[in-house]
A = this chain, B = another copy of it.
Amino acid sequence: MKKNIKVNLDKIFYPDSIAVVGANKVVGTVPYDILRNILDADFNGVVYPVSPRERFIAGIKAYKYVSDIPDPVDLAILVFPSSVTHLALEQCGQKGIKGVIIISAGFKEVGGEGIEREKRVKEIADKYGMSIIGPNCLGVINTDARSKINASFARRMPEEGTIAFLSQSGALCTAVLDYAYAKHIGFSKFISFGNKADVTEIDLLYYLKDDPKTKVILMYLEEITDGPGLMKAARTVIRAGKPILILKAGRTPEGALAAASHTGSMAGNDEICDAAFRQAGIIRCQNVEEMFNIAIAFAYQPMPKSNRIAIITNAGGPGVLATDAAIHEGLELAKFSEETLSMLKKNLPATANIKNPVDIIGDARVDRYNVALTAAFNEPSVDAVFTILTPQSMTEIDLIAREIAKVAHHSEKPIYASFMGEADVSQGIDVLQRNKIPHYFLPESMCRAFAIVYQFSQTRHNVPTTIPTYEDINAPYVEEMITHTISMGKQFLTEDESIRLLKAYGFPVLKTALATTVDEAIQKAEDIGFPVVMKVVSDKIIHKSEAGGVILNLQNKTEVTEAFHTILENVKKFNPTASVKGILIEKMILDGEEVILGLKRDKSFGPILMFGLGGIYVEIFKDVSFRIAPLTEHDAKAMIEETRASAILHGIRGRKPRDVEKIIECLLRLSQLAVNHPSIEEMDINPLIVQPKGMGAYVADVRIILKRE
């Protein structure tokens, strides 16, 4: 049956009625705790316990089967053992229930039979047009007063807030809820999506885009199954003004292995994930703390107009640390006007430092904070205020926190705080947190969070998403060549075939000719014009240089003759059985900078493109960039700019600026090629020789590997 995910998710988050299927009376077990949590959260609707054995649970009439419930049911929460979950689910389908949460574990994550169980569950969901969250999850929470539902076995119902939190790990949810509870961090929706058998993180992103209660979306993710889908959804959400923060686990191969045994998932390559997130505008977080540090900055305070900050501190040392961190994060210390300076001078003691960072000295009471805060907020060059406090003997911690909250309440400039310490400052921190002033123990974390918010506010999330396509290509010809080659049982194209493929896609290819005799070689070299390069052509030899099959910069007949013989000898030594089709004669470009363009298929994200400067830059400095195809023009440009070596292309230190436009074009053509021909498994254009600006670039060598038949 066709399903409307949005409508179904509404049934899950805003149900009029809930059936807890598999409820029981044993306090401290998941089935009971879920029912109890729903009741304790003061759910705005009707709850029906479903239990074959009990007449009532927690004082509420229980039903034997879902079908016995006399009224319509929006949401069913299944806490049955995994072996019988499909039976209960079938009944839900027949009852016309559209929203389901399966809490139970014992599915894909345990392998074997579990995989089958999960498949069956998904089939039933599709049959009845139901949407399922889970299995193997903690449940969902919606703090919206319209619903107030805690359909989870979490210990706590969080405060209402504007942060949506999604997690593939249920256990992490309990840590996050405990952490957030202590810090008064509220949530709009809190969703543990487990094995995502049916509803995925992508569906949830689209749903949260339209959720007026959600300002910022946080996600813990172990497995990315549909990379392009995730990127598309993320772009849509971000364009709607909602930042997405993701903590992606399984970064290392070992971590991915642990993830595999944990949720039956295989994590992808970490650099690719980095690139994809960047491309989509997703903010990737390093750990849970960083994620919430940034989240509260987005959730609590307005976006800054600029990166010019004022620092107010009662402690010199921490002021220096904050200044260091601010500069490190690319922020600027605002220069105060004469007016502000004289105002500060008049109202602060002579020992105070009235320049930014403002040091109001260790014995500062609330009045001095008030003076400095007022001055900073009134100063036109200041667009955000960072307040620092250490608990010195006279510090009125609580009053100062209240003062900050009061000032913030009336201002459109963001304000952040760092009360350094833990015991004495705790009360003040509590005041800040209740009043939605982002608070950080470390000035360094404060600066970092602000910098991320500032960068997000500055990024134009509306850059054109047009995918350029070239018309001067011959896709059918290429597809036929590939299909033919694969059907012959071969996995790679010869040099000659590769060049024909490149030409069919409009890549600039060097003038070349194939020679089988010395005389022919001399003739062709003269036609092309000296100097030339000579390369062996053989099915058996992929890395031609290693085989001694390439000789550069041949200036005349004699050198060509010599090279011809040398190459044949080298190749014979390297692989005596390799049959040689001939020697390729190629124009030698003298004034060129070598770059590499690459293509690789990834399980999660599909076609990955790579860019880097040739040779040693790639090998030693790993100075390469990745993007997921198809590329926009913006993506292609960004790929190049992201490498440090791009400075060379732009002509540092008297070098010639290179034809970067041509590289962009080549990347875009490669992107089109990658999308059009999924049978190309890997491809290296190495090198693409880039001439000075306006003079083009030439593919000098290429290696194409096809899918195995």
Contacts and interface: CB of A to CB of B under 8 A. Distances in A.
Interface string A348-371: 000101010101001000000000
B317 A255 contact: no
B222 A320 contact: yes
A174 interface: yes
Interface in A278-334: 286-289, 314-321, 323-324, 326-328, 333
B254 A327 contact: yes
Contacts of A287: 321, 442, 444
A172 B390 contact: yes
A422 B178 CA distance: 6
A317 B423 contact: no
A68 to B, nearest CB: 29
A423 B181 contact: yes
Interface in A130-175: 153, 155-156, 167-172, 174-175
B28 A393 contact: yes
Given A289-B442, A422-B178, A390 B171 contact: yes
Most buried by B among A249, A255, A258, A623: A258
A600 interface: no
A620 interface: yes
B286 A444 contact: yes
A391 B621 CA distance: 43
Interface stretch (A400-408, A558-566, A640-648): A640-648
A652 interface: yes
A590 interface: no
A249 B314 CA distance: 17
Nearest to A179: B422
Interface residues of A, number: 92
Nearest to A136: B316
Contacts of A110: 351
A69 B362 CA distance: 33
Contacts of A263: 316
A183 B263 CA distance: 35
A396 to B, nearest CB: 12
B258 A323 contact: yes
B323 A252 contact: yes
A574 interface: no
Contacts of A426: 182
Contact of A317 (B220, B328, B333, B620): B220
Contact of A174 (B105, B176, B320, B421): B421
A258 B357 contact: yes
A653 interface: yes
Contacts of A155: 391-393, 424
A288 B316 CA distance: 15
A327 to B, nearest CB: 4
A183 B422 CA distance: 8
Given A175-B391, A351-B110, A423 B182 contact: yes
A661 interface: no
Nearest to A251: B324
A374 interface: no
Interface in A594-646: 616, 619-621, 623, 644-645
A183 to B, nearest CB: 7
Given A323-B252, A394-B28, A317 B619 contact: no
Contact of A33 (B178, B393, B444): B393
Interface in A406-443: 420-426, 441-442
A178 B320 contact: no
Nearest to A653: B619
B652 A262 contact: no
A323 B171 contact: no
A333 B254 contact: yes
A549 interface: no
A30 interface: yes
Contact of A621 (B181, B392, B644): B644
Most buried by B among A33, A423, A623: A423
A40 to B, nearest CB: 14
A359 B252 contact: no
Contacts of A324: 249-252, 254-255
A3 to B, nearest CB: 29
Contact of A170 (B167, B262, B362, B652): B362
Contact of A262 (B257, B319, B393, B546): B319
Contacts of A168: 317
Contacts of A28: 393-394
A261 interface: yes
27 contacts: A153-B393, A169-B316, A169-B318, A171-B316, A171-B362, A171-B390, A172-B420, A175-B315, A178-B390, A178-B421, A178-B422, A179-B421, A182-B422, A220-B317, A222-B317, A249-B321, A249-B324, A250-B320, A254-B324, A254-B326, A255-B323, A258-B316, A262-B320, A289-B441, A546-B654, A619-B647, A619-B652
Given A110-B351, A170-B317, A258-B323, 15 more contacts: A174-B315, A175-B425, A177-B421, A178-B423, A179-B420, A181-B422, A182-B421, A254-B326, A254-B327, A255-B320, A257-B323, A287-B442, A289-B441, A620-B645, A621-B623
The 4 closest A-B pairs by CB, nearest first: A169-B317, A171-B315, A178-B421, A182-B422
